[in-house]
Structure 1
Amino acid sequence: MAAPGYGKQSAPEQLPRSAADFSHLPAREAYLASLIDHLPDGAAMDVKTLAAYQPHYGQMACRTVLNNLSTAGHLRRVRERLESRNCRWVFRTYFSRTPRSDAWWNRFLMTGEASTSGAPDPPRERTLNRTPPASAAYAALSGLGLADARLALSAADCTALEPLAAEWLARGATPALFTAALTAGLPPDGVHSPAAFTRRRLLDKMPPERPLPGPPTARIVECTDCRTPCRTPALLGGLCRACRGTPQAAPPLRRLSPAIVRAHAARARQAMITSPRS
């Protein structure tokens, strides 16, 4: 296993395993891809470790295989910054036995979303002659009278106070905590106006706002081969331009003048005349 936070990370939304998962790959790539696929998350999968996992291929072959698997859409290497006190950076390899396009990997690595289409809405039950169910805030208010009769509220009171109760629940208060906070320490001589008293308590005892979620995890994509950090759109098949190679223009043809051509021909004829015959 790699150090905590490092190593293999399984990509989301993969198809179930089957015998044909890597049938589109050459034998060497299919063999090592199957080996990686069965490694647990967090396992080391660097070139040196992969070469030690199996007896067939050395480090150079494993490096070539990782590049080919990246080009085939099965993996991407990234650096991720953990939002901790010391902002530690970790190095991870996302692996998918289901081959993905560059667009899929770019979207996932930049936004964390695996697909653009959301899950279908759950089927709704048909209801006949039924009113919509009450919200959690409304139910919490209506339950106060059951916990203590001195805070019995009418339907109109619950509707008017529902936004304040909803804010309590949005700030993390559970229905049990909500009821306990509002019914604790009631005046012994009774409550003359349950609605006004409840409103005052809802305002005075409002829980603190929940902290906003931290910024998304910083993620830098690396070239699978040279490990150079790159912008995600700059990688094709997980390889930077230098590693995937750029087509080089053919050298321009050198055109010889007729005089030079005749001089070359004359020298060739003279060499044939003067050369000894076997």
Structure 2
Amino acid sequence: MAKTGYGKRSAGDEDPHADPDFAHLHPRDAEIAVFIDHLDNGHAMGHKVLAAEHPRYGQQAFRTALNHLTEAGHLRWIKEHITVEDNSMRWVTRTYWSRTPRSPEWWADFARERDGKDVTDYQPGLARTEDPAPRSAPGVVPGDEPTPDEPGAAYRILAGLRAADPRMPLSETDCRSLEHLAAEWLSRGATPNDITRALTDGLPSTVSNPGGLARNRLEAKMPPQKSDTSTAPARPLRGRVTRVIMACASCDQDERTVRIDRGICEDCRKECAENPMTDEDIAKGFAEIAHLGVTSARFLKQKLERRTGGAVPDTFRSVPIEDRVFYHYRDNRDRIANGLPPRRWNP
């Protein structure tokens, strides 16, 4: 996952999931599109991170596929200029994903609507979100507010001591009489685990008076009160998008310096189109690389055996020869599929 406020963001207003969602794409691009579509919002969208989690494709394949998905209207990199009320300003690059392919005009309208959006800084650093989670009082877990017919969080912590340690089976009377002490712990910033550890750590083999022991520990180990500055919730600084520009999905240049067409700058598009390869070229390249890899592995093995005076088990090598062949073949397979020349075998 990326830092809070970054990573994959849904553009919204998408069609429901269906089988032909990505039928218009090349099979490899369609597979990667399905993979990205099922990632959670906030997932890092760099080609290196995505390739590390995908079982079949490497970094080069993902980089090319991201360019193709951008041209097809599924992805856009948009730079937003943020102005905060403390007069600080910064540029932030957002990654927007749409399961439904969008036209360049649709994306232009989408970027224009981002201008003026409130992106208040609800997290430390540069993390921002338009939908902040509601803040709760210190020590109170959201949804744990007591109701007239339901015990409070402090009571439930005390009642759960029996399950945490059988030597501390507090009765209902004990829980009611100690509830105000546990609630005071929570108000001072303690967590339920802090209270449970304070009441169960270092217990004797038998506890004759669990209620009295719990009262002594709650009073003796009471955490200090927070100062006024720490208890007062800091008001988040208001931030607003004051400018929006399109960025290239490949080189991160923006439309201030280069012409962006369907999310890709002209230089990156020209670089990708210089050495187009047909399906026959790709299949032929796969066969050649597989043959070269096996042949090179055989010669390498013979060379090592001549040097050592006999066969050497793979357990004595840092990397088995077969694995080196596999890595070499997989790397060159991705390079050929992306229109790049294969690398020579380097024993």
Q: What TM-score, normalized to structure 2?
A: 0.39
Q: What TM-score, normalized to structure 1?
A: 0.49
Who wins on radius of gyration, i.e. which is larger? 1
